[in-house]
Chains A and B, each alone.
Chain A
Amino acid sequence: MTQATVTEARSGTAHSGTTERWIAIMGGTALGLAGLRRGSWALAALGGGLFLAGAAGVPIAEPVARRVREGNLGLGDFGDAAERLPGVAGLLPTAQREPTTTQANVTVAAPPDKLFRHWRNFRNLTELFPHLDAVEVLSDTESRWKAHGPGGVEVVWHSALDKVRENELITWHTLDGAQLPHRGSVMFKPAPGDRGTEVRLTLVYQPPAGAGGRAVSRLFGMAPEQQAREALRRLKRIVEAGELPTIKGQPRGNRGMREVME
């Protein structure tokens, strides 16, 4: 199977495609402006909503995405993908259903050993994945993970380390009984020049029958690709800036409580 197909599988299940996204943004802006100009807040809100959907990669045209998916995908063996993703090679099962591969990349202005140590200390991972509540280390290779879904539903699974290459690579897979079986790898590679370290996070999910990426989203309230990307962003921000910048809790006007002073 070709690389292009893998990419399509990814964008088809994990987030809305680029074209769709642009339509959402452009349509959102145009509608928003038209709405504001006519003084209609309802229309403006609709426009704004579309922009949000576009910006957040929320699938707004699921039937389109599904068609793309079904039109292009057979039962691939993902051999090519495995080769391109060091650390995942050889870990992929001969699938009955298609696994979903999600990948995120980020460059962090820090040396590989610092990032490796940060990740290797599993306690730090709860900061990177907001739905993750605790990681308990059971042995040299095994650990127990506890997370919560959108409704506060508790999810527990066990995970085993496969490869640990100091300052370079960590790979793992979930053990039998996991609700969301997956394999993962995180790679640390020196970036050229003074750019720090390239970090690549790859997650290969075996989605429950017929459910696809949406089941994963339902479990964790976020598409897997977005989770991976956000996790790496948090890693970068914590290691580089020493905090996760936020605007939660800052003052803002409230139309209801306003005191018009003019």
Chain B
Amino acid sequence: MRALCWNGVNDLRVERVPDPTLLGPHDAIIKVKLSSVCGSDLHLIDGYVPTMKPGDVIGHEFLGEVVEKGPEVLRLNRGDRVITVSIIGCGKCWHCQHEEYSLCDNSNPQPAYEEAAYGHCTAGIFGYSHAFGGYAGSHAEYIRVPFADTNCFRVPEGVSDEKAVFVSDAVPTGYMAADMGGIKKGDIVAVWGCGGVGQMAIRSAYLMGAERVIGIDRYPYRLEAAQMKAGAEPLDYTRVDVFDALLAMTGGRGPDVCIDAVGMEADGYDTGIEYWYDRTKQAIGLENDRPAVLRQMIECCRKGGTLSIVGVYGGFIDKFPMGAAMNKALTFRMGQQHGQRYVKRLFEHIEKGELDPSYLLTHKWSLDDGPRGYRMFKEKIDDCMRVVFTP
């Protein structure tokens, strides 16, 4: 089959690889119909996740059809149209039983990396480096899904492929970001980053009762989508001082909930010296992540407010304003998405017309155009929100 493989920093190639086979009794093979790019892939492509190996198949947000299943897959049948959550749960460990699927004890076959770097290992993720299990990803004609009963979900009849595919990753991640914010009536929520994840966080914050939601980014087309499709008040951080603007918009209080939907590769525009400090340290490997957004959120957040972090970080950050965080009594919530917890609820929102993620799909391309698609997505050109490949 054809698959999109990582071969080095900024080096993606479409290659011919063997078809996947069932390796465990709980596995299923999915014939991939749609497979989306995600901001997380950029961290791999740019070389900020250290355990990629040449030949790794990437991609983790996908929809397809069950074509084969192991003897212990009981809930699924051949021919089912399913989405698969990007992060793999075993369904049986204490964390999975408590709906913390991304903390699964058992799904990562290569736990040594994370145990050494983080103290414990977390769940395996499709196409997301060997530290996270080394599972082959979905930018391919077929993909093997472990623990399929836990990780695959049938798409309801009336929901189109284009709406459903993002329930794999962008939608549950944005939804969980809002959920972790613990939004209460009257709360004003600020969302940094208006990519697929940020867009879904904005919409979800409204679904959870936010009074107003502010979306922050620099790309006019993304800010426009945040405003027109998700209902946010847009803020271009290259044109205003974010702190001043947020305080002006919240009667001087600051947002009650601040959501990070940007992560380790934050751009810094109004923070020139700080940005280059982090950019340089990151380039020479002394700092893994650029925490411009985190620092800004701590500064802007209302006293006693909540920071909800779904933008991905991998290693260490510098100059973390702990004093501000502590004295302002902020709450920090964070994590990789526990998608399995939310899928049912998300399809209900979609069926009721309260949520329509299909506008994230701005480009539907052949898998053969994978490298070109990622370049467009990375450089944010041609008004690209997400490219979805059809293998």
Contact = CB atoms under 8 A, between A and B. Distances in A.
A17 to B, nearest CB: 12
A156 to B, nearest CB: 30
A242 B25 contact: yes
B40 interface: no
Contacts of A34: 284-285
B14 A254 contact: no
Contact of B24 (A31, A41, A243, A258): A243
Most buried by B among A41, A107, A251, A252: A251
A196 B105 CA distance: 14
Interface in A237-262: 237, 240-255, 257-262
Contact of B146 (A245, A252, A262): A245
B313 to A, nearest CB: 14
A109 interface: yes
A48 B50 contact: yes
Contacts of A253: 3, 5-7, 13, 15, 17, 54-57
Nearest to B91: A241
B106 interface: yes
Given A32-B285, A51-B51, A242 B16 contact: no
Contact of A259 (B15, B25, B131): B15
A50 to B, nearest CB: 10
A195 interface: yes
Contact of B372 (A51, A54, A243, A262): A262
B285 A250 contact: no
A241 B146 CA distance: 11
A33 B14 contact: no
A182 interface: no
Interface string A20-61: 010001001111111011000100000110010011110000
Contact of B116 (A21, A237, A248): A21
B6 to A, nearest CB: 8
Interface string A172-207: 000000000000000000000011100000000000
A259 B105 CA distance: 37
A36 B108 CA distance: 26
A255 B7 CA distance: 8
B133 A36 contact: no
Interface residues of B, number: 68
B378 to A, nearest CB: 15
Contacts of A57: 112, 116
Contacts of B124: 245
A80 to B, nearest CB: 26
Given A251-B19, A255-B54, A260 B14 contact: yes
A236 interface: yes
Contacts of A69: none
Contacts of A242: 25-26, 72, 92
A254 B283 CA distance: 28
Contacts of B131: 55
A259 B1 CA distance: 11
B134 A243 contact: no
Given A56-B116, A261-B2, A246 B23 contact: yes
Contacts of A244: 24, 109
A246 B315 CA distance: 25
A148 interface: no
8 contacts: A32-B285, A41-B8, A242-B72, A245-B133, A250-B20, A252-B57, A253-B54, A255-B55
Interface of A: 21, 25, 28-34, 36-37, 41, 47-48, 51, 54-57, 107, 109, 194-196, 233, 236-237, 240-255, 257-262
Interface of B: 1-3, 5-9, 13-21, 23-26, 47-48, 50-51, 53-57, 72, 90-94, 97, 105-113, 115-117, 124, 131, 133-136, 140, 144, 146-147, 283-286, 288, 315, 368, 371-372
A-B pairs, 10 with minimum CB distance: A30-B285, A253-B5, A253-B55, A261-B14, A55-B116, A33-B285, A251-B17, A241-B90, A253-B15, A252-B55
Given A34-B285, A240-B90, 14 more contacts: A33-B285, A48-B51, A56-B116, A109-B97, A233-B111, A241-B93, A241-B106, A246-B109, A251-B3, A253-B56, A254-B17, A258-B5, A258-B16, A259-B15
